[in-house]
Amino acid sequence: MNEAQILLLTAASIAFLHTILGPDHYVVFTAMGKARSWSLNKTLRITLFCGLGHVLGSVVIGVVGIILGAQLTSLVEFEGVRGNLAGWALLAFGLMYFAWGLKQAGRGHKHSHVHTHDEVVHDHEHDHRTDHSHVHDAQAKNPITPWAMFIIFVLGPCEALIPLFMYPAAMQSTGLVVAVATVFGLVTLATMLGCVALTTIGVEKLKLPTSGRYAQAVAGASVAACGAAVSLIGL
């Protein structure tokens, strides 16, 4: 194998490990998708949307850094600041969503009904103080949550991509820079989509308590846990 092939294989391997070892890359989407009664297709579309922002954010910073002649240490430090900001933002979003979920769960005595939406069978609860309507239909159409997730993931860096960029840049090989970015991005996105699909299907098969009265609170707690893992542990 030549140097270019080794670099591309390294980029693919690091992208896979970077995604698998970071639960924020997939647990967030599975939890929010189940809580908001998104179909699997919609959950995967939102995952792809946020994943593109996640990868392209680091690509743009890496390219700008190369053009400006920035040192590797400077770019890594900047990505570290972005990572901390994204982690705390994810934690804050999760805690606020958790609090909102608890508030929703406390609204009156509820009972459960089973429904089918977007080919997904799930149950949700109603009280008789309000209209017996499909609340989750409005939730599913609310764009605030996907956009909030997108912004957080744009802030979240792919730290491993920057050092991979610098080697071909030092060789003045624009084609190899593009190849590294493409391989890293495609593997990251494919791994995110695969993990989200598997965890979503797994939750459905195992019949875990991700729907019902405390669904929103459980989702918020899951997102907050991912944010804490990023901010406090560095995953």
- Let me know: does 79 contact 100? Beta carbons within 8 Å: no
Whether residue 198 has pLDDT greater than 90: yes
Residue 177's pLDDT is 83
Residue 115's pLDDT is 53
Higher pLDDT, 146 or 196: 196
Residue 144's pLDDT is 65
Residue 138's pLDDT is 45
146-167: per-residue pLDDT in tens? Answer: 888 888 888 877 777 777 777 6
Q: Where are the domains of the chain?
A: 3-107+117-125+154-233
Least trusted range by pLDDT, from 10-14, 76-80, 120-124: 120-124
Whether residue 172 has pLDDT greater than 70: no
Whether residue 78 has pLDDT greater than 80: no
Average pLDDT for the chain: 78
- Let me know: does 30 contact 204? Beta carbons within 8 Å: no
Mean pLDDT of all residues in 58-79: 75
SS (HEC) of the chain: CCHHHHHHHHHHHHHHHHHHCCHHHCHHHHHHHHHCCCCHHHHHHHHHHHHHHHHHHHHHHHHHHHHHCCCHHHHHHHHHHHHHHHHHHHHHHHHHHHHHHHHHHCCCCCEEEEEEECCEEEEEEECCCCCCCCHHHHHHHCCHHHHHHHHHHHHCCCCCHHHHHHHHHHCCCHHHHHHHHHHHHHHHHHHHHHHHHHHHHHHHHHCCCCCCCCHHHHHHHHHHHHHHHHHHHCC
Q: How confident is the model at residue 65 (pLDDT cuts 50, 70, 90)?
A: confident
138-148: per-residue pLDDT in tens? Answer: 444 555 678 88
Higher pLDDT, 94 or 210: 94
The pTM of the full predicted model, rounded to 2 decimals, is: 0.75
